[in-house]
Structure 1
Amino acid sequence: MQRHPMTKEGADALKIELNKLKKEDRPAISTAIAEAREHGDLKENAEYHAAREQQGLIEARIAQIEHILGSAQIIDVTKLNPGGKVVFGATVTVLNINTDEEMTYKIVGHEEADLKHNKISVNSPIARALIGKEEGEEVVVTAPSGNIDYEIVEIQYI
């Protein structure tokens, strides 16, 4: 089985979600299905069908999370000694040399990537350009709109 990198933070969040799904959502939907069954004819019972559909979604998400965690290689960046280089799990502040705009990204696994929270996949073009570099270095990221020049301002292992 191929292992996929995941931050400890991402794995912990998935474990919390899995626990909630198994201990709260699954029992609640079972109760809802039982109550809907008591309403009689299941063919035209919208509550029953909605509850069964919800149950299917919950079970699918549980299976998905278990698969992700089962194939994850959990990396705690705070325990690494990267020697000042950008590595998986690092939080990197970069300066766009062309626009003078600063951005901070955390390099995470594919399953954790969330651009709204500045978490970028280790497989993204910017992460691939940053990996192995040090503060003060310039990198060129090939983007659909053309090349973008960045300077690494700060690397944190948090």
Structure 2
Amino acid sequence: MANTILTREGYEKLVAELDFLRNVKRAEVSERLRSAIEGGGDDLLENAEYEAAKNEQSFTEGRIKELEYLVAVARVVDSSESSEIIEVGSKIEISEEGSDIVESYIIVGAPEANPEENKISNESPIGKAVIGHKKGDIVQVSAPIGSYNIKIINIH
């Protein structure tokens, strides 16, 4: 069973989502399904509301199974007090070599990656490249578009 690395915050979000799906969403979908059956007449196969509710139930149960697995195998990493070496949970500032533009990211486990929040996975090209490095290091990023170098400006 492979471990999934998560930050404490990411783990807590997944547990909260799992709790919501089990205790709230499941009941809502069940009620929607019951209403569709009661109001659907004789032929459930032609009842669009019933079909939509069955699809939602399937999606919800699939997500519950996925979250149960992730929570069971997760290795939770608390942000370290040391900000000398980059690891999951580190907040970093980097710039592409030759550029003055500084970009900020938080390195997180794959299930909690969210580029809109500047949370990048430790399995992403940049994440893989910077893990284990220090402030001032220049590292090579191997991306689908080719390789390029970045400088680690700061680690928080």
Shorter-chain TM-score above 0.5: yes
TM-score for both structures, normalised by structure 2? 0.89
RMSD: 1.6
* Residue 68 of structure 2 is aligned to residue 66 of structure 1: yes
Q: SS of the counterpart of 2:57? A: helix
Q: SS of the counterpart of 1:65? A: helix
Task: Provide the identity percentage.
Answer: 36
Aligned-pair distance for 1:38? 1.0
1:95-106 alignment to 2 at 5 Å?
95-106=95-106
Q: State the one-letter code of the partner of 2:54.
A: R
Aligned-pair distance for 1:61? 0.6
* Residue 150 of structure 2 is aligned to residue 150 of structure 1: yes
Q: State the one-letter code of the partner of 1:31.
A: E
User: How many residue pairs were aligned?
Assistant: 154
Q: State the one-letter code of the partner of 1:47.
A: E
TM-score for both structures, normalised by structure 1? 0.88
In structure 1, the gaps of 5 or more residues are none
Q: 1:122 maps to which residue?
A: 122
Q: SS of the counterpart of 1:105? A: strand
Say which is worse superposed, 48-57 or 121-130, in terms of deviation: 121-130
Q: SS of the counterpart of 1:101? A: coil
In structure 2, the gaps of 5 or more residues are none
Q: SS of the counterpart of 1:100? A: coil
Q: State the one-letter code of the partner of 1:62.
A: I
**56, 59, 71: which one pairs with 2:58?**
56
Give distance in 2, aligned partners of 1:154 and 1:128.
Answer: 17
Give distance in 2, aligned partners of 1:150 and 1:124.
Answer: 14
CA distance 1:155–1:119, shift in 2 (3 Å):
same
For the Cα contact (< 8 Å) 1:86–1:133, is it kept in 2?
yes
Q: SS of the counterpart of 1:63? A: helix
1:1-158 alignment to 2 at 5 Å?
1-39=1-39, 40-41=41-42, 42-77=44-79, 80-82=80-82, 84-156=84-156
